[in-house]
Structure formats: structure tokens, C-alpha cells
Structure 1
Amino acid sequence: MNKLSKGKFAESSKLSALMIVASLLSMGSAISVIAQTSNANDAKIQAEVTKALNKKQFSGVQSTVSNGVVDLTGSVKVFADKEEADKRVRRIKDVAAVRNDIEVGSGETQVSDQELQQTIIKKISYDRVGYGTTAFNAIGVNVQNGVVTLSGTAYGPVDKSSAVADASYTPGVKDVVDEIQVDPVSPMDDRIRLAVFRAVYGFPSLNKYAIDPAKPIRISVQNGNVTLFGVVDSKADKDAAGIRANGVPGVFSVKNELQVAGQPAENK
């Protein structure tokens, strides 16, 4: 390589090196700007989170924000407050995600699963009294390690939401799993529902089950198919309820899931 070529090569190498340095400096500036923007955005989100959780029930909750992700820690008294904190934060603009690690009832006296189950069953049983839908809600409650699973069927969305709220606001509940199915909206089903109610509760030996709202024969109707739930005093009462429901015009089928008090559940 001659001197001229060597000079051009050296000059080109210097230029390339300068371009690389300039590019790195530019990239560093861009990264710095992005970082500053992200920090400013996080600070804005943090301020909004603090404002959203400025309520007495969230006094034990702490929050941090990083790259738009909000971490919630600390404790609340009931599960409903944990859910509400989550909803409030998710509504904030520019929040990318929420990690909700809030503990429920931390440091308080623990309630046994059996106690929780009985408390929630009682709440749900009496909750819709006065609205005329109690006998049409067949909601099951199961509790394991403080986690409540709600199953079965509800007459409508309001009845379902009310049952979930009953569980969520019960002290000692750690989480609520909602598996309640809402009966389909149908004028035909509404007619059948009312007719089955009258046929069952209008029978002399069965009208006693209307006295206590917590112990009714529950009637679920889906597309003309009737299912009876609850606990009755005798096999005769169970059979009578099934026969009365089967006699209602328009009923396609009747599934008799009634249990007789003091007897083990029948295997299906």
C-alpha cells in the first residue's frame, strides 16, 4: 500500500471512529431522555395512585411504580377493599399493569373455613329477601384456606353480584372465586318459574318451606328445564316437590336435587 492509500485509509478509520463515538453519544442521550421521561411518567402515576387510594380502608396499603407497573403491598381488612384498590389503580391513565400483593386481614384473628362458610351461606340466604327472588337462587358456597368459591345458579346478574359482594365483605375471606351461572333471560322460563313456585309452595305439606328464607326449596329454570335444590325434612317431601314441578305445563324436564335432612347425598 502506498503512502497516499495509507493516508486515506487512516483518515477513513478516524472518520468511522468519530461516527461510532457520535452514534454512541447520541444513543446515550436518547436513552437518558427516555429514562427521564419514564421517571417523570412514573412520578405522575405515583401521584395519581396516592390520590386514588387516599381512603380510610386503604390506609395500610403501600404502592410503588416502575415503568408504568404499579406494585401494591400492605394489608386491608376485607377482600372487597383489595379488589377496590386494584380497580382504582387500573383506571389511572398510563398504568401498564398492576401487581396486587395486598394481604387481607393480616394480623387479625383467623376465622375457620367452617365458620366462614356458615356466615356467608346465611348472608346470601337472607340477602335478597323482599325482592321475590330468594327461592330462585341456588348458590353454593365452599371455603378452603380462606378462599371462597361460589357456584350454582342465580336468577339474574344483580343476585349474582350481591352474592359475590356478601362474600367479599366478610372478614376472614382471602379471595373469592365466582363460578355462579346466571339463568338465561326468557319470558317462557319466567312463566314456568312462577308456576313451579306456586305448584310446590301451594302444596299443603310443602308450604312450610316458605317460612324461613334460608331454608326454601330452590327452583332453577333454564330453557324449560327445572332443577330443584335445597334440604327437605323427608323423602315424601322430596318426592312431592318433584311430582308438583313435573305437573306444570311447559316444563320439559325436572331434575330433583333435593337432599333429605340427616341423610347422605345421593350419588349421581
Structure 2
Amino acid sequence: MIRTLFICISRKERSMMTATTKTFVLILAIAFPISVWAQSGAVGTGRYDQQIQQDVTKVLQSKDKWKGITASTDDAIVTLNGSAKLLIDKLDAAKKADKIEHVQGIRDHVQVESNVPDEQLRQQLGEKLRYDRVGYGIAFNAIALNVQNGVVTVNGDVRDYPARDSALAIAETTPGVKEVVDNINVLPTSPMDDDIRVRVARAIYGNGSLSKYALDPQKPIRIVVDKGHVTLYGVVDNQMDKQIAEQQAKSVPNVFSVDDKLMVAGSPK
């Protein structure tokens, strides 16, 4: 009896010991990966900082336009400080730094040098944009500008992405522009709308009373078409020209509506 009791107790103890061992192993299995992950995370983000710093500094020193920009690196995050003469230089520096191996992010604190008054900046940009992409259907783009403290907001509708990208590039490369806000709407591709654009342009610029505007390369009457709806933008000489342009647009087949936003030169805005 005593022997039997001893055997039973031994089995129970072994069972309890086995359960305890399994629990201990499980705890180790959970704790060990967490410890390894924490150590690898701590090492993984910061261990490349010195190399990143050297590479970023080398890039910034390779171009005169970046000589005013400095960089610091912490946990693979690069912070850019200093100044640039043009917005495009600031943007390019950030893009170059972001492409360097092991870089996890960019903090861009670079300031763009600017002493150009907002109104002067608006006029300069407006002049450039009016003649942008002459020969590439500029009559079908309508872009408006707002400038405040050197920050340029570009609004409007354009026929395609090259027109949008060109407008933004003009703003980014103009001295005095500190930042560009892109609110340009690229209209959806539509063969029907393209056909309407051409027909409305012919109806307006081919009209005897309006043919004088066809001689102007900036195409002062802009024609925006979206799903068959036409909106006219721009500036004309008098009220009669404005009315004729609207009537000509309405005469084109498949035009659902015409919103005449043409302005008369000299009239209050």
C-alpha cells in the first residue's frame, strides 16, 4: 500500500512539474521575441545615422543651389534646415535626401528666400501662366491664382495632366514663391468633351466679331468643358462680345449648358 501510494504521488508531481515547465517555456517564448524586437528596433533605426548623415551632406554639397541647406539625422529621420533661393531647390533637396538608403523620413524646415510683394508676384505668375503651353490647347484651360505671404494657391480646371504639371512648375521655379498649394482640377478624359471643345472654339474664335481674339496667342477666351457643360472664362473688350461668345457656345450641338463667366475689361471684378 505504501509503495502504491508513493508511485501515485510521484506521477502527480511529475505531471505538475511538466505543466510548470511548459508554462515557463511558454513565458520564455513570449518574452524572448519581445526582447529581441525591442533591441533590434532600437538598433535598426539609429545604427545607420552616421552613414545617412555623410550621404546627405555629400548630396547637399554637390550643388550650389543647396549650399545654404544643412541636415541632421536622428533615428534615420533627416531634418533639413537653412534657406534656398527657389522653392524648386527646396523641394528637390528633400526628394534627393529621401532617396538615400536607410532614410525613413524627411522633416523639411528649409525657408525660401523671398522679398517680392504678393501683388507683384501675382502679376508675374499670371503673365507666365497666360502664355504657358501655347500651341497645346491653352484655350481649354482656365487657371486662377491667389498669393498670400508668398504662398501661391493655384486653382482652376485644365484639360490634361501636362497642363497642370506645367502650371505648378512655373510657380515652383518663380523667385519669391515660398510654397505652392495645388487646387487644380484635371478634367476627365472624354472624346465627346474634346469634340465640344473644338467646336465651341471654332464657333467663338471663328465669329467675325470675335476673330480679333484669335490673333492673341494667350487665347483670352478660355473654354472649359466637363461632361457636356461649357464654362467660359477670360476677359473681352465689351458687353456685346461677351454676349456673342455665349450665344456661339450655346449654338454648338451636344452642349448641355453654358455658364458665361467672361469679364468685360474695365468693369468691376
Which of 29, 38, 62 matches 2:70? 62
Q: 1:123-162 to 2 correspondence within 5 Å?
A: 123-131=128-136, 133-162=137-166
Q: 1:88-127 to 2 correspondence within 5 Å?
A: 88-105=96-113, 110-127=115-132
2:236 paired residue number: 232
1:47 paired residue number: 54
Quote the Cα distance in structure 1 between the aligned partners of 2:41 and 2:144: 52
Q: Report how far residue 73 of structure 1 moved.
A: 0.5
Q: Percent identity?
A: 48
Q: Report how far residue 213 of structure 1 moved.
A: 2.8
Quote the Cα distance in structure 1 between the aligned partners of 2:216 and 2:40: 68
Is the Cα–Cα contact under 8 Å of residues 134 and 213 in structure 1 kept in the other structure? no
Q: Residue 65 of structure 2: SS of its match in structure 1?
A: helix
The amino acid of 2:106's aligned partner reads V
Is the Cα–Cα contact under 8 Å of residues 196 and 228 in structure 2 kept in the other structure? yes
Q: Which runs of 5+ in 1 are unaligned?
A: 1-27
Q: Report how far residue 210 of structure 1 moved.
A: 2.0
Q: Deviations over 1:5-59 (max 9, x none)?
A: xxxxxxxxxxxxxxxxxxxxxxx9x988876665431112222322333222111
Which of 63, 74, 82 matches 1:74? 82
Quote the Cα distance in structure 1 between the aligned partners of 2:229 and 2:46: 59
The amino acid of 1:114's aligned partner reads E
The amino acid of 1:98's aligned partner reads I
Quote the Cα distance in structure 1 between the aligned partners of 2:64 and 2:42: 34
Q: 1:229 to 1:37 in 2, by over 3 A?
A: closer
Which of 186, 192, 197 matches 2:190? 186
Q: Could you say which structure has the larger radius of gyration?
A: 2
Q: Deviations over 1:142-186 (max 9, x none)?
A: 111110000011121001000000011000111000101011111
TM-score (norm 2): 0.82
Is the Cα–Cα contact under 8 Å of residues 122 and 214 in structure 1 kept in the other structure? no
Is the Cα–Cα contact under 8 Å of residues 46 and 76 in structure 2 kept in the other structure? no
**Alpha-carbon RMSD:** 2.2
TM-score (norm 1): 0.82
Quote the Cα distance in structure 2 between the aligned partners of 1:231 and 1:150: 19
Is the Cα–Cα contact under 8 Å of residues 226 and 253 in structure 1 kept in the other structure? yes
The amino acid of 2:64's aligned partner reads K
The amino acid of 2:89's aligned partner reads D
Which of 244, 256, 260 matches 2:264? 260
Q: 1:52 to 1:235 in 2, by over 3 A?
A: same
2:9 paired residue number: none
Q: Report how far residue 215 of structure 1 moved.
A: 5.3
Q: Residue 179 of structure 1: SS of its match in structure 2?
A: strand
1:209 paired residue number: 213
Which of 57, 62, 83 matches 2:91? 83
The amino acid of 1:152's aligned partner reads G
The amino acid of 2:95's aligned partner reads K
- How many residue pairs match? The answer is 235
Quote the Cα distance in structure 1 between the aligned partners of 2:239 and 2:162: 33
